[in-house]
Amino acid sequence: MREISPLQKERLNYRPKLAGVLSLGINNIKLSLKDKTSAVGDVEEIKKLFPNIFGEPIARFEAQGSELSRENKNVGVILSGGQAPGGHNVIAGLFDALKTANTQNKLYGFLGGPSGIVDGKYIELTDEIINAYRNTGGFDIIGSGRTKLETQEQFKKALGVCQELKIGAIVIIGGDDSNTNACLLAQWMKENNTGISVIGCPKTIDGDLKNDQIEISFGFDTATKTYAELIGNIQRDANSAKKYWHFIKLMGRSASHVCLEAALQTQPNITLIGEEVEQKAWSLDKIVTYMADIIAKRAEKGKNYGVALIPEGLIEFIPEMKNMISSLNDLLAGLEGNDSYINAKEDEKYSIISSKLNDSDAKLFNSLPAQIKAQLLMDRDPHGNVQVSKIETEKLLIAMIKEKLSQMKKEGKYTGKFSDQAHFFGYEGRCAMPSNFDADYCYSLGYNAFALIQAGLTGYLSSIKNTTKPASEWIAGGVPLTMMMNMEKRHGEMKPVIKKALVELDGPVFAALEKYREKWALEDCFIYPGAIQYFGPSDVCDIATITLQLEQEKQLANV
């Protein structure tokens, strides 16, 4: 028997709250359809690529409407992409709904991510297995992976596995790229009259999979609260020792939602937001100057310490860096299989790359430290992009700030002492034990996914809305995946993908940061959130993120 902590033992017994009408039970809810949908961009191309599932209406479950199917339905489930707190509860919710509908239904978990359904690697998920993972972090119940589902061969193999197991539906739990795969698979299954439906669930701690129908991706709540606790601990230390500047890089490669939410929860001295940097076209030198000026002003007050938050994807938001990285992505895609490049020494690789870049990109590339160059040339992720989490942006900024402060000292503009500490908070938040919010939200997402299956829908993303209210007032339904898609360049080719939701600089969340950042820069306004609370009053244990609260206030004001 595996050992578990007293808290985990207690959490295994937590009973998640179900969203709204879902609490009536899977056999007592009905489907309502309204408002045909389109796509967020490149409508005609998306329609052409997904003719069998494009333009479907928004789904909502109510106490009255069309009856759901009662037929026996085996389901396969896939965890795809990086971990996010609450994934196990999505599976638990799916399992409970499936068994409540018909005890003969079976749930199969495909092992190791999307490759599991292609290679036929699976386990049947039972009460014993599910009960050991309720309300726990991680994806270890069946594992995850980043295999892309996009070829005819993969689809045919997946179909064969599903037919062998008498699977009538597949649930893919993942982020924007994973649910793009779900959309491709749903189109193929429908086009080939397989009778197999495909439903997605919105996962990513980055918070960039959201829209009017998807208010929040699961894991964002737990991850940001976990990071806020760590940042608060560091701020308390900084305020006690009064001798270090802490540079903290936070996960979020394509959007700065995590960094922004963590800042609102902790009120650090400096917060960089990638989308702001891009809009204002800040250069690397401009960012360094901005940070060095705050450090110098605090030094004038005798405060040679502070905390700076840096989004993981910052480097790609700096226009000059973004252009160079885009060129590098295309260039390295063309060098795949090139033996003369692959076998070259490190310095030789830099020369080869530099010779193939345009003058401005080459100048910037050559100006970077060798360590950063090496990190930029690492193997790409499965989507052909630079692995920004491996670029030590916080250390690059520290090195450049040291040079800037040295220069300012010579000019008499800085008289303080600068000692630094670098941190990267990433994996600490991805597999944390889910907060009550994520435990409830994820359980509802999984339960709701089976309701969508029973409603005969395919190509939909499970949607739970009104999430700043008590769970009894949450609204369950689904949104067509094609509604969120547009065309983007990947591996040098235009491909259909779910559009990422970036920080809105004219929105209420960024406005809250902008209102106070000057005060936070020079004064010590630190907040120490402490650990996630699982037991106690709901305004402590069940509270939603500041981001979600501000966004919902704006949405309600516009109704």
Strand pairing report for 74-79 and 30-36: unpaired
Q: Is the pLDDT of residue 109 over 80?
A: yes
pLDDT of residue 537 exceeding 60? yes
Which pLDDT score, from 0 to 100, does residue 383 have?
Answer: 61
Query: Residue 556 above 60 pLDDT?
Result: no
Q: How confident is the model at residue 557 (pLDDT cuts 50, 70, 90)?
A: low
The encoded tokens of residue 500 equal 């990422």
Could you tell me the pLDDT band of residue 215, with boundaries at 50, 70 and 90? very high
Of residues 253 and 427, more confidence is placed in 427
* Domain chopping of the chain, boundaries: 16-219+434-490, 220-430+507-554
Burial class of residue 127, CB neighbours in 10 A (0-12, 13-18, 19+): exposed
Q: How many CB atoms lie within 10 A of CB 145?
A: 18
Q: How many CB atoms lie within 10 A of CB 466?
A: 17
Q: Provide, rounded to the nearest whole percent, the portion of the chain with pLDDT above 70.
A: 98
pLDDT score at 559? 40
Q: 66 pLDDT exceeds 90?
A: no
**Cα angle at 139 between 138 and 145, to 5 degrees?**
130
For the stretch 262-287, pLDDT in tens is 999 999 999 999 999 999 999 999 99
DSSP 494-556: EEEEEPP----TTSHHHHHHHHHHHHHHHS-------SPP-SS-HHHHSPPPHHHHHHHHHHH
Rg (CA), the chain: 24
**475-480 and 460-465 strand pairing:** antiparallel
pLDDT at 492 over 90: no
In this structure, which topology does domain 16-219+434-490 adopt according to CATH?
Rossmann fold (3.40.50)
Farthest-apart Cα atoms in the chain, separation: 79
- The pLDDT of residue 1: 45
Q: How far apart, in whole angstroms, are the C-alpha atoms of residue 252 and residue 262?
A: 12
Higher pLDDT, 490 or 425: 425
Annotation marks residue 206 as catalytic: yes
| Neighbouring C-beta atoms of residue 121, cutoff 10 Å | 16
Greater confidence (372 vs 526) lies with 526
Q: Which residue has the tokens 């409830």?
A: 440
Instruction: Give the rounded percent of residues in the chain with a pLDDT score beyond 90.
Output: 83
Catalytic residue among 206, 438, 440, 542: 206
The angle subtended at Cα 530 by Cα 546 and Cα 544, nearest 5°, is 25
Determine the average pLDDT of the residues in 319-332: 88
What single letter denotes the amino acid at residue 57? P
Give the C-alpha separation, 408 to 403, whole Å.
9
Residues 181-187 have a mean pLDDT of 97
Residue 388 predicted with pLDDT over 90: no
**Against a cut of 0.85, is the pTM above it?**
yes
Task: Quote the pLDDT of residue 375.
Answer: 86
Q: Average pLDDT, whole number, for the chain? A: 94
- 197-208 mean pLDDT: 97
Q: Give the model confidence (pLDDT) of 37-65 as tens digits.
A: 999 999 999 999 999 999 999 999 998 88
pLDDT tens digits for 453-487?
999 999 999 999 999 999 999 999 999 999 999 99
Model confidence at 369, pLDDT cuts 50, 70, 90, reads confident
**pLDDT grade, residue 435 (50/70/90)?**
very high
Two domains, one topology: 16-219+434-490 and 220-430+507-554: yes
Residue 380 confidence (pLDDT) above 80? no
Does 29 score more than 70 pLDDT? yes
Query: Which sign, positive or negative, has the C-alpha torsion 182, 183, 186, 191?
Result: negative
* Per-residue pLDDT at 558 exceeds 70: no
Q: What is the pLDDT of residue 382?
A: 64
Where do the DSSP E strands lie in 140-244?
A: 167-174, 197-202
pLDDT at 510 exceeding the cut of 80: yes
DSSP class of 432: S
Whether CATH 3.40.50.460 fits 220-430+507-554: yes
